Structure 1
Amino acid sequence: MDAGDEGRQQLDAVSILNARQTLIGYLGRAGLFAGDAEELVRIVEAGAVALAHEEVGAPGRDAPRDRGEPYAAGWLDGARAVTGELGELAEGALREALTAVPAAPAGPPPPVRTMEVERARVAIVPLYLSFTEVSDLDPEVSEQVLVAVLATMDPRQRAGYAGRLAEFTSGHRARLERLYARYGPASPTAIHGRYSLLHSPTSIAVLERLWAAPGPLEAEWDTGELPPAWLEGLRRGWEEAGA
């Protein structure tokens, strides 16, 4: 085997499966239930295939211009075939990943799981820090707030909540910047109780729900016995930042 072949060699299926099971084992020893660990790994696997499909189909991957038209036509046909096949694999991987996520029941959503709270927590922190700084006044109710937020969604919506949050912050970036500048940790109203939740990364999640599902959020907020003033403060600040 020459150096080029050695550099191109790939992991075999047995080694990949071994690595997968090792990861699930580590997650289990860290306290994650086996089903939750399997779900996380499947979502990561599906995401890897989806991102590969997006990369292969990205614009700018044209045939070399100095090879002539027949070469370019063959290149295009091959690219379409590969992209189509990879797209089908991506869709299949996503369907397989979501089989671990229960379908939405006819009644109310099931209780929020610890893993769902942790996934939301991982998603909100970098988004929050893109608008403001860490605050020493972060209310110590992060888990209760996230439970109220996630309880407004069914399990499949919770599984895709990180993407929904990213879309929300991207689509409303200027308004969020104004909101945190006026009422966030570095603002003159930093210690005002009405805006206390803006000192917590959970405010990003609450704002998204206020925008997308205010009624269900208010109901879950009452159920969780969270301070009504916090929700009203976010609502008022959001309205003022949009003016």
Structure 2
Amino acid sequence: MTTAEEGRQRLDAASVLNAKRTLLQLLARAGVWSGDAEELIGFVEAGALALAYEEIGGTGRSAPDGKGGEYAAGWLDGARAVADELGGVAERSLRQVLAGDPTADSPDDRPPVGRTEMERTKVAVTPIYLSFTDVSDLDPEVTEQVLGAVLRTMSSRQRSRYAGRLAEFATTHRERLERLYAEYGPGSAIAIHGRYTLVHSPTSVAVLERLAAAPSALYEEWDAAELPPAWLDGLTKAWGAPS
């Protein structure tokens, strides 16, 4: 085998399947239910395809030089066809992950919140929160109640992409968030108990994103969950949004 061939080696299907089964077994030993593990692995697989699609389908691609106009046109058409097909594979992979939810393709339906959706959201909000302020504990049960209300404002498909929305929200509003956490969060003169309680919790990042993106749905789910109105009103005031 030449050096070039060695550099182009790819995993065969059996080896990929072996790796997936091994990971499932390791997660099972750690107490992760097989359905949850399959779902998480499915998201990773679909995400890898989506990222590959973005990379090869990005602008700036050009045909090899010196081949003539007809060659260049054919080359670009072929490249677009491959990119489009990969995009289709990525979309089908995501649909397969969400196949167990009949509301997955409906932007208006809000199914019950699954355990992996909850855990993915916790993983997403915590590092964003810690980029603005220090650790400050809130009752885990309260955390799940708040995030449950947040997630119920979205469809399954929207939830699958929520980590990206949160990252984009934090980047877009970084200065405003820095001010909010400095004035109301851990280390400020504001006590952890009271109307600004949620500013002391990583869940505040998710609540703020929903206040900006879907305030009516958030208030509806907040009331349905019987969460303290003062928490949402305090966070709304700190954010500077109309209540």
Deviation of the 1:64 alpha carbon: 4.7
2:57 maps to a residue whose letter is G
1:120 maps to a residue whose letter is T
Correspondence 1:1-243 to 2 at 5 A: 1-65=1-65, 67-70=66-69, 72-103=72-103, 109-130=110-131, 132-136=132-136, 138-140=137-139, 141-189=142-190, 191=192, 193-239=194-240
Deviation of the 1:225 alpha carbon: 4.2
Q: Is the 8 A contact 1:152 1:216 kept in 2?
A: yes
Which deviates more, 198-207 or 53-62? 53-62
User: 1:119-162 deviations in whole A, cap 9, x for unaligned?
Assistant: 100111122233x12234x3223222212222333433322322
Distance 1:195 1:28, change over 3 A: same
Give TM-score scaled by structure 1 length. Answer: 0.82
Alpha-carbon distance in structure 2 between the residues aligned to 1:2 and 1:34 = 41
Deviation of the 1:19 alpha carbon: 1.0
Distance 1:187 1:33, change over 3 A: same
User: 1:4-27 deviations in whole A, cap 9, x for unaligned?
Assistant: 222222111011111112222222
Note the residue ranges of structure 1 that are not aligned, 5 or more in a row: none
Alpha-carbon distance in structure 2 between the residues aligned to 1:112 and 1:92 = 22
Secondary structure of the corresponding residue to residue 10 of structure 2 = coil
Deviation of the 1:205 alpha carbon: 0.7
- Number of equivalenced pairs: 237
Deviation of the 1:175 alpha carbon: 2.8
Note the residue ranges of structure 2 that are not aligned, 5 or more in a row: none
Of all paired residues, the percent bearing the same amino acid is 60
1:4 maps to a residue whose letter is A
Alpha-carbon distance in structure 1 between the residues aligned to 2:186 and 2:124 = 20
Give TM-score scaled by structure 2 length. Answer: 0.82
Distance 1:149 1:84, change over 3 A: closer
Which deviates more, 5-14 or 165-174? 165-174
Deviation of the 1:207 alpha carbon: 1.1
